């Protein structure tokens, strides 16, 4: 990743220019990655940003992996889930992909219940939740659940 940084910089800068913004590089660890099946056209993602005491990050990762993820897998339309963390800041983001926007809408209340229970168990503060259409899929990262 670091060896390719200079080669990627012009691509990143051009993308930022096309979108009318600027780029910022942050390095986050992929702590958990689990795929039930590949996503298809029309898939959607619910992302949740959290903050936890950096000293408690390992516990938060364990809560996601051992408690939240099994419950998330039961939600209608579940495709995959990941948890990326920045240990230094205590910030993390989970992304859960669903087969369709409709499935994501139908499980919104259940997902909220799972999120609240996981945050409480991990001692985490939920900063934001967003729902998006999936734009880039099929990243080549090994299973990590």
Task: Tell me the per-residue pLDDT of 63-121, one tens digit each, with 9 for 90 and over.
Answer: 999 999 999 999 999 999 999 999 999 999 999 999 999 999 999 999 999 999 999 99
Residue-wise pLDDT for 30-46, tens only, equals 999 998 877 688 899 99
Residue 4, pLDDT above cutoff 90: no
With beta carbons less than 8 A apart as the criterion, state whether 56 and 133 touch: no
Number of neighbouring beta carbons within 10 Å of residue 103: 17
Cα→Cα distances 138→22, 38, 43, 132, Å = 26, 7, 12, 16
For the CA atoms of 51, 54, 59, 65, the dihedral, rounded to the nearest 10 degrees, stands at 50
Whole-number pLDDT of residue 143: 52
Whole-number pLDDT of residue 27: 86
Q: Which of 91, 80, 4 is nearest to 45 (CA)?
A: 80
**What token pair was written down for 10?**
């012009």
User: pLDDT category, 136, cuts 50, 70, 90?
Assistant: low
Provide the residue ranges of all domains of the chain, joining segments of one domain with +. Answer: 27-133
What's CA 140's distance to the chain center, in Å?
A: 15
What's the CATH fold of domain 27-133? Alpha-Beta Plaits (3.30.70)
Q: What is the mean pLDDT of the chain?
A: 90
Q: What is the reported pTM? A: 0.82
User: pLDDT category, 126, cuts 50, 70, 90?
Assistant: very high
CA distance 133 to 91: 23
Whole-number pLDDT of residue 120: 97
CA distance 8 to 41: 27
CA distance 18 to 65: 37
User: pLDDT category, 138, cuts 50, 70, 90?
Assistant: low
Residue 133, pLDDT above cutoff 90: no
């Amino acid at each position: 990743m670091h060896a390719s940084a200079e080669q990627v910089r012009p691509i990143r800068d051009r993308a930022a220019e096309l979108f009318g913004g600027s780029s910022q590089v942050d390095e986050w660890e992929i702590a958990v990655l689990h795929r039930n099946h590949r996503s298809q056209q029309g898939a959607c993602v619910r992302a949740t940003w959290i903050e936890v005491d950096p000293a408690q990050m390992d516990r938060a990762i364990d809560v996601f992996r051992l408690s939240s993820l099994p419950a998330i897998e039961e939600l209608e339309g579940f495709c995959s889930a990941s948890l990326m963390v920045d240990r230094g800041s205590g910030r993390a983001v989970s992304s859960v992909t669903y087969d369709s926007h409709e499935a994501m809408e139908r499980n919104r209340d259940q997902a909220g219940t799972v999120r609240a229970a996981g945050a409480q168990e991990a001692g985490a503060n939920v900063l934001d939740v967003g729902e998006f259409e999936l734009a880039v899929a099929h990243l080549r990262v090994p299973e990590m659940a």
